[in-house]
A and B are shown apart, each in its own frame.
Chain A
Amino acid sequence: MFLALRELIFARGRFSLMGGVIALIAVLMVMLSGLSSGLVNDGVSGLKSMPVTAFAFDQGTKTDNAFSRSVIDDQQLIAWRGVEGVAAAEKMGVGMANATTESGKQVDLTLFGVEPGSFLEPSRSAGTGLGSSDGIVVSSTAKAEGIELGTVVTLDRIGTKLKVVGFTDGQATFGHVDVAYLPLKTWQLITSGQAAAGTPTAAQLSAVDFHTASVVAVQAKSGAKLDLAAGDTAAGTSSKSLSAAFNASPGYEAETMTLSMIQVFLYAICALVVGAFFTVWTIQRKHEISVLRAIGASTGYLLRDGLAQAAILLVGFTALGVAAGLGLGAAMPEAMPFALEAAPIATATGLTIGLGLIGAAVAVVRISRIDPLNALGGQR
């Protein structure tokens, strides 16, 4: 480190330029990581928070948008209840709706129709649970839209009025839209197209001849291994585990794959840029290294020194970049789906440093091929 540190100070101009590039890559890493986590939360936090082991879609449903596409009936539900290892299975209705609040504000909602009192009913941070035919429990993030307890939202076109009776515990969004939990019966009334304007009445609900829902939500007994294939055969469904079902959320796969690809490219760029810099730096020092080798410096010492130099540069400037990225992340506008989570940022930081070191190592290994004989004769 004796030589490494002194060279960092001596050639601080060159090293700062390189460090600047590393820091900017780290900033971009943090931003992408935040955007990635934010988009995932925005896309599937409503699903993530559910105590569900798997969702069963109607057989042959296309994966993209499967939640709103699939239709299941009572027989499929009953078949799933009979599958070994199943603790509970419930019908669940999924649909998108545009609505307007009393103050005229337009909001989008994902309607999750669930049986009140079942395991699907969400835990709440405020208000009461599902029960009354017009009561809905909405995502806590909807407060930012001006929705409060007691707010009445009117669904566009059909004019059905629903009242906010509770908020979920934390963010519950699906396909970038706030989730509104409502009783399955009400969901069926709305979906059947038989709903009239105004608050749904008991008479309307009992008159609805519509018994299907979107998916069967299945909860396994604790410790039991659920045989999804057996359940599918018995019920005529295609089931997906909770995390696999994320892909059935609108746009989820496209978004996460795009961001992952950008991140992979950034890692590759980081390794290549650091490698290129240290290649040029090592070539610049060629004569000096041949002198050191002629004097008797061991190859191991020179390699350790070179790698230590790269490590100091990478760790220092990556830390700087991550700090700047966290600062910028905190200043992101509300509309941008952005969530800073410790684990993905730590992974991104580790990968930036690790891959940068690999790039540097490939360059620094050149030191071992420099011939001490070059020290003799004129300076080149």
Chain B
Amino acid sequence: MTNPTFQAASASLAALPATGLSIRHAVMELGDGDTRVTALDDVSLDVASGEFLAIVGPSGSGKSSLLAVAGALASPDSGTVTVNGQDLSQLSQGKRAAFRLSNIGFVFQSGNLIPALTTADQLRLVNRLAGGPKTFDPVALLESVGMAHRAANRPGQLSGGERQRVGIARALVTGAKLLLVDEPTASLDRARSREVVEHLARQSHEHGVATVMVTHDHDVLGYCDRVLEMVDGRLGAPAPVR
């Protein structure tokens, strides 16, 4: 694995960091028989806290599988995944959900907010799920993504970019130190895409959050501390700009 030149924090492959994400020799195959594909082919990766990593690559290259494995949504066939010093393979199914809730923040495509909830309630729900403080005030967090003025609106009244910013705020409610971001700019125009990724970069730098963003959007890579490319389940340095 090549050492990237642009790195906010150093990540050594030898020592397991207490925070952030560490994947060692992860292998995962999907499907059966003729349709069997290698989604992850001996993938190793370290993301330190405060680092904003982007992973690019064609569809079906295994990017989503990498997010699923890093986010305790799926287990690799072999290899280990460590988040904030916790080996995920040691966790039972029920404990994984609780672990995700307090340690990992997800930002999905087009926000994936709950249609019935106002912006403030999206954040309150996660706080309640996690058993957070009763005095939790979503406004400060919404302020940090510039969405405080939309606290009482439901997702249907928000633009795509606004929804993504609410999604980012929701992912940070429990103070998660690992943020996994799936194609956040898939349905946004250029200006909105930049804005959203700018927020992601700021949040991860300011709060020391290790962020892994999977994207197709080469326009926004300038905000990232490091960029890796995934091809056929293998992770490596990105090919020169086409």
Contact = CB atoms under 8 A, between A and B. Distances in A.
Contacts of B223: none
A255 interface: no
B9 interface: no
A118 interface: no
B86 interface: no
Contact of B74 (A11, A291, A373): A373
A309 to B, nearest CB: 11
Contacts of B109: 377-379
A86 to B, nearest CB: 68
Interface string A1-35: 01100110111000000000000000000000000
B114 A295 contact: no
Contact of A297 (B97, B115, B121, B124): B97
A3 B114 contact: yes
Contacts of A2: 121, 124-125, 128
Interface string A209-224: 0000000000000000
Contacts of A298: 94, 97-98, 129
Given A10-B154, A376-B182, A379-B109, A294 B73 contact: yes
A291 B112 CA distance: 7
Nearest to B71: A294
Interface string A258-296: 000000000000000000000000000001100111111
B110 interface: yes
Contacts of A3: 114, 116-117, 125
A372 B112 CA distance: 13
Given A376-B64, A378-B186, A10 B101 contact: no
A305 to B, nearest CB: 10
A163 B73 CA distance: 89
Contact of B73 (A11, A299, A372, A379): A372
B97 A288 contact: no
Contact of B64 (A6, A292, A293, A377): A377
A10 B106 contact: no
Contacts of A296: 97-102, 104, 129-130
B63 to A, nearest CB: 9
A156 B86 CA distance: 98
Contact of B108 (A9, A10, A291, A297): A291
B126 A295 contact: yes
Contacts of A288: 112, 114-115
B68 interface: yes
B163 to A, nearest CB: 11
B129 A295 contact: yes
Contacts of A10: 115-117, 154
B74 to A, nearest CB: 6
Interface string A368-380: 0000110111110
5 contacts: A6-B116, A291-B114, A294-B106, A296-B101, A298-B97
Q: Which 7 interchain pairs have the tightest Cβ spacing?
A: A296-B101, A10-B116, A296-B100, A7-B116, A291-B112, A296-B97, A6-B116
Interface of A: 2-3, 6-7, 9-11, 287-288, 291-299, 301, 372-373, 375-379
Given A295-B106, A373-B68, 11 more contacts: A6-B121, A10-B117, A11-B116, A291-B106, A295-B100, A295-B101, A295-B126, A296-B97, A296-B98, A296-B104, A378-B183
